[in-house]
Amino acid sequence: MLSTTIIEQLKNKLGPGNVVSEKEDLLVLGYDSTPGIHLLPEVDVYPTSTEGVLAALEIAQREGLPITPRGSGTGLSGGSVPAKGGMVLCLNRMNKILEIDEENLTATVEAGVVTLDLFNATAAKGLFYPPDPGSQKISTLGGNVMEDAGGLRGLKYGVTRDYVMALQCVLPDGSLIQTGGKSVKDVAGYAFKDLLVGSEGTLGIITEVTVKLIPPPKDKRTLLAYFSDIRTAGEAVSKIIAAKIIPSTMEIMDKATINCVEDYVKIGLPRQMAALLLIEVDGHPAQVAEEAAAVEVILRQVKAAEIHIAKDAEQAAGLAAARRTALSALARVSPTTLLEDATVPRSLLAETFAEIERLTAKYKLNVGTFGHAGDGNLHPTVLCDERNHEEMHRAHAFYDELYDQVLAWGGTVSGEHGIGIAKKEYLARQIGAGGVKVMQRIKHAFDPKGILNPGKIFADDRE
Amino acid sequence: MPSSEKLGNFTAQDAPTYESVLQCMRCGFCLPTCPTFALTGRERSSPRGRVALARAVAEEKLEFSAAVKEEAFFCLDCRACTTACPSGVKAGEVMEVCRSQAQQQSPPGHIANSFRSFILQRMLPDPDRLEMSMLPARLYQRLGIQWLVRHSKVLKLGPNWMEKAEGMLPALDAPLRPQLPEITPARGEKRGRVGFFLGCVMTLMYPNVSRQTVRVLAAQGFEVVTPPTTKCCGAPHLSEGDRQTARELALFNLDLFMQAEVDFIVTDCAGCGAALKEYEELLESEAAHDKLVAFRAKIRDISEFLAEVGLRTDDLQPVHKSVTYHEPCHLCHAQGISRQPRALLKQIPGIELREMNEASWCCGSAATWGLKFSQESQQVLDRKLNNVKQTGADLLVTANPGCQLQLAWGVREAGMQQEVMHLMELLGEATPEG
């Protein structure tokens, strides 16, 4: 329990409505979308300005209170869960779009702006912010930057990191820094901005983000291909990339995922098929026509069971929206959905699907797989019940063995969800003791007292 | 969701099931659809937060506390989160059951309780008594509004609620129920026999809407049976957490309409329709399963019904108006009916349908929510009216009396031009006398 003095001080600085410490509030800010992780903070604050963040941090610093930043709590590795209690700092009330600069093609937003709101606001001005994580309707820009969120368009347009131009950030020592700017080029000193992107809230608290905008593609076409064997779908993806075609989107769903998504969206997805690929090519109309034709040729070569072309933009948007619900829709089947974020070089997709199939049988599990096939980024999801400890044990063994293979192939344990609490051991396996030590030293340089989002990414070296 | 075994810190009677709360995987897809989360930005006032609270009560991490009760009643029960949830979690239903828990675990004080049981257990279950209270409207005001005035503190009604309650009351005509014949014959080629479920608010406040519903049904070739002894559907009781009275009413209506030998049971009140479609679950352990399934299979909202059987449009006369359509939560979210009212509007010659933004966002009425949280309700309403305004349409059409009361009042207060109508009034206007 925190002393009432600290609560009062916070209320004085942030406003009484922006500080909550009732048990019910604490209970609902101790989770994100990661299954099985629920820890309790001692106080929640909702600052509405950078000054509010500074004030909260100053009090936390003085009291030695751990502080965990949080956007909308849609993370999938426990990044915004208060691992060591203390204060959860919710940024969702800092949700103003501050500027859309049409001369420099940038947008500057507060950290709590919802990703899709930024997309819509820039689209209204004829501009395009490409990163579109599955949770774009809910996720915040601050959270996207801290987790370096990807999305469906990552294949052609890259991920959040590729669009961050400047950050305003509060450091654990209470200083406010600006890093980066609207200049296209900037090599002045260490690239703090790039260090902060993907740092999972362990180095600083982002309060403002400036992102790069681009002109939207003039045309696009969406293809849907069905497969009777998921490995063939993997082969198709590798061949399309090898043919030097970069679609904007190349998403895969397996049979289990197709059925769960169809249960929810009811748009006539093929329930009996082993897999489907959702492929979108965009750009200049001539290029779109050429690439769509080339993709179709490859799909026929590998013998896709069926090939369909979306009849209009509305149908295409419906398909992408359906894909975005995949993870949540899988949760219809079982109380617990344990998902991973394995990413491999794209030429190895077919082998990865084969490995997932083998391990699913070996550990007698129910697994649904979907993901950003074009990025080699798959989300094999075990559909299980957290009350069944024996099943959970098998699920973890499944991932253990899968990750051994993924790392042997030169892949990574996380393509876009981050390490958080959930994957610390896997990270250590990937980068080794030396790699972890370097990360700990960087963390120490920013946060010598270890108050900022402690317990994430790697074990604390002082533990 | 009745369960025989006690779950955690819930009582055994009318508690959420553990599965219904465990199903939430906390993705947050519900957050941007929740009016109370949009108002507060506070996680516990979101569907995800509310389900997490219910789960904590089930897991004995939390008592059924005052804050849980508060959230159960702050939830609008608009069910937008149910539509948005890919995992199939029904946060609104979980909160509705929690309202019953609230009544069981922390019953309201004596005065509030006597008022509550007066309305829920004496007035609403008895159509005669209800009509007596409305005739003349003065008496209604004495019985209703004065009671509310006296007990506004214990009922925790919001500031300025009385002004709003009086302002919302439409010009009252005589209740429809005693005027409607039990059997209204079909006109033209007969297409079937339907039962009409006349809701309490419809007969008392919007008799002219339901008169048009029956007239249109007859003109469309249906013999309409309106059982005069129909009781309240039970929706207000479910909403206030009195599931026992709701079950008694439901059992009565179930028997009444199953004896009437009708092909379908049609209603023009989205709130009633949603409640009638939930009888199957509500009466699970009280009535034969087959009977409940058969009853459920007959229930239709009027727009759902007309779109399904196909509207005879040959005789329709044109109405040259532009229309925007507000989707009642209990139609689009609770019953999944969005396409059909629009399809009917487009079939009326001369009507131009202009879609508003966020047509399926709540209007802030939500049974007594609009009076309990009058300031919050105003904010939700303002958002809706702003979207209406942008369409510049002549008419604002909806399909539920609660929405109609709130929107008509809001439009008038805001000095807007739109006439607020029920879909069936418009269809009635297009249907010639005959």
For residue B63, give both structure tokens.
């008592």
Q: How many CB pairs lie under 8 A apart between chains A and B?
A: 92
Read off the pLDDT band of B136 (50, 70, 90). Answer: very low
Each residue of B11-20: pLDDT tens digit?
A: 998 999 999 9
User: Which amino acid is it at A177?
Assistant: I
Q: In chain A, which stretches have pLDDT less than 70?
A: 1, 461-463
Q: What is the pTM of this model?
A: 0.92
Which of A313, A422, A425 is CA-nearest to residue A35? A422
Pick the CATH number of A4-90 from 3.30.43.10, 3.40.50.300, 3.30.420.10, 1.20.1260.10: 3.30.43.10
Q: Is the peptide bond before A454 cis (omega within 30 degrees of 0)?
A: no
The overall average pLDDT reported for chain B is 89
Q: Is A301 in a helix, a strand, or coil?
A: helix
Task: Please give the pLDDT value at position B65.
Answer: 94
Each residue of B292-334: pLDDT tens digit?
A: 999 999 999 999 999 999 999 999 999 999 999 999 999 999 9
Show the DSSP H helices in B41-126 as ranges: 47-58, 66-74, 80-84, 91-105, 110-117
Read off the pLDDT band of B149 (50, 70, 90). Answer: low
- Interface probe for B, chosen from A24, A110, A388 (most Cβ of B below 10 Å), is A24
State mean pLDDT over B31-58. Answer: 96
Question: Residue length, chain A?
Answer: 463
Q: Is A19 in a helix, a strand, or coil?
A: strand
Residues in B 68-107 with any Cβ partner in A closer than 8 A: 68, 71, 85-88
Task: Please give the pLDDT value at position B142.
Answer: 42
> Cβ B86–A73 below 8 Å, yes or no?
no
- Which secondary structure element, helix H or strand E, spans residue A249, and what is its range? strand A249-254
Task: Please give the pLDDT value at position A54.
Answer: 97
Residues A458-461: contacts with CB within 8 Å, 24+ apart? A458/A419, A458/A424, A458/A427, A458/A428, A459/A424, A459/A428, A461/A437
For residue B161, give both structure tokens.
């609620």
Which of A262, A271, A278, A253 is CA-nearest to residue A369? A253
Q: Å from B386 to nearest chain A CA?
A: 18
Domain span(s) for CATH 3.30.465.10 in chain A = 97-212
Q: Å from B376 to nearest chain A CA?
A: 16
A321 touches chain B (CB under 8 A): no
Could you tell me if residue B67 is left (phi over 0), alpha (psi between -120 and 50 degrees) or otherwise beta?
Answer: alpha
> Could you give the CA distance from residue A154 to residue A146 in angstroms, rounded to a whole number?
17
Considering the domain B183-308 in this protein, what is its CATH number? Answer: 1.20.1050
Read off the pLDDT band of B138 (50, 70, 90). Answer: very low
User: Which amino acid is it at A348?
Assistant: L
A157 touches chain B (CB under 8 A): no
Domain span(s) for CATH 3.30.43.10 in chain A = 4-90
Task: Please give the pLDDT value at position B204.
Answer: 86
User: CATH topology for A97-212?
Assistant: 3.30.465
Could you give the count of Cα atoms lying within 13 Å of A432 in the half-sphere of its Cβ?
2
Each residue of B251-280: pLDDT tens digit?
A: 999 999 999 999 999 999 999 999 999 999
Considering the domain B316-430 in this protein, what is its CATH number? Answer: 3.40.50
Task: Please give the pLDDT value at position A63.
Answer: 93
- Interface probe for A, chosen from B25, B68, B339 (most Cβ of A below 10 Å), is B25
C-alpha A159: how far from chain center: 9
State mean pLDDT over B65-89. Answer: 95
Could you tell me if residue B315 is left (phi over 0), alpha (psi between -120 and 50 degrees) or otherwise beta?
Answer: alpha
How many CB atoms lie under 10 A from the CB of residue B223? 18
B-chain residues near A325 (CB < 8 A):
29, 86
Read off the pLDDT band of B159 (50, 70, 90). Answer: low
A-chain residues near B71 (CB < 8 A):
24
> Could you give the CA distance from residue A189 to residue A167 in angstroms, rounded to a whole number?
15
* Partner residue opposite A25 with nearest CB, options B23, B44, B86: B44
DSSP assignment, residue B108? P
Burial letters A286-300, b for 16+ CB under 10 A, else e: eebeebbeebbebbe
Task: For residue A331, give the chain B residue with the closest CA.
Answer: B87
What lies within 8 Å, CB to CB, of B304 at 6+ separation is B335, B337, B340
Task: Please give the pLDDT value at position A28.
Answer: 97
Domain span(s) for CATH 3.40.462.10 in chain A = 219-408
> Cβ A24–B85 below 8 Å, yes or no?
no
> Cβ A20–B42 below 8 Å, yes or no?
yes
Task: Please give the pLDDT value at position B139.
Answer: 44
CATH class of the region A219-408? alpha beta
Considering the domain B18-105 in this protein, what is its CATH number? Answer: 1.10.1060.10
Residue pair B221/B191 in contact by the 8 Å Cβ criterion: yes
- Interface probe for B, chosen from A14, A21, A25, A28 (most Cβ of B below 10 Å), is A28
* Partner residue opposite B26 with nearest CB, options A27, A33, A46: A33
Read off the pLDDT band of B121 (50, 70, 90). Answer: confident
Q: Does residue B143 surpass a pLDDT of 50?
A: no
**Domain ranges, ordered by start, for chain B:** 18-105, 110-168, 183-308, 316-430
Read off φ and ψ for residue B249, nearest 5 degrees. -65, -45
State mean pLDDT over B186-190. Answer: 95
> Cβ A28–B52 below 8 Å, yes or no?
yes
Task: Please give the pLDDT value at position B106.
Answer: 79
User: Which amino acid is it at B309?
Assistant: V
User: Sign of the C-alpha dihedral, residues A442, A447, A451, A453?
Assistant: negative
> Cβ A331–B25 below 8 Å, yes or no?
yes
- Which secondary structure element, helix H or strand E, spans residue A356, and what is its range? helix A349-362
Specify the residue for token string 């508060």: B70
Show the DSSP H helices in A177-325 as ranges: 192-196, 230-242, 255-265, 285-301, 313-324
A-chain residues near B26 (CB < 8 A):
31-33, 73
Task: Please give the pLDDT value at position B187.
Answer: 95
Read off the pLDDT band of B357 (50, 70, 90). Answer: very high
Encode A108-161 in three state secondary structure: EEECCCEHHHHHHHHHCCCCECCCCCCCCCCCEHHHHHHHCCCCCCHHHHCCHH
Compute CA distances B117 → A387, B107, B109, B239, B240, whole Å: 42, 12, 12, 14, 10
C-alpha A119: how far from chain center: 16
Which of A2, A76, A7 is CA-nearest to residue A37? A76
Task: Please give the pLDDT value at position B27.
Answer: 94
DSSP assignment, residue A210? E
User: Which amino acid is it at B359?
Assistant: A
Burial letters B121-158, b for 16+ CB under 10 A, else e: eebbbebeebbebbeeeeebbebbeebbeebbeebebb
Q: Does residue B146 surpass a pLDDT of 90?
A: no
Which of B63, B124, B148 is CA-nearest to residue B98? B63
Which of B344, B321, B335, B291 is CA-nearest to residue B395? B321
Task: Please give the pLDDT value at position B128.
Answer: 77
> Could you give the CA distance from residue A138 to residue A150 in angstroms, rounded to a whole number?
14
Element counts in chain B: helices (H) and strands (E): 25, 9
Specify the residue for token string 């040259």: B320
* Partner residue opposite A33 with nearest CB, options B28, B41, B71: B28
How many CB atoms lie under 10 A from the CB of residue A433? 7
B-chain residues near A82 (CB < 8 A):
none
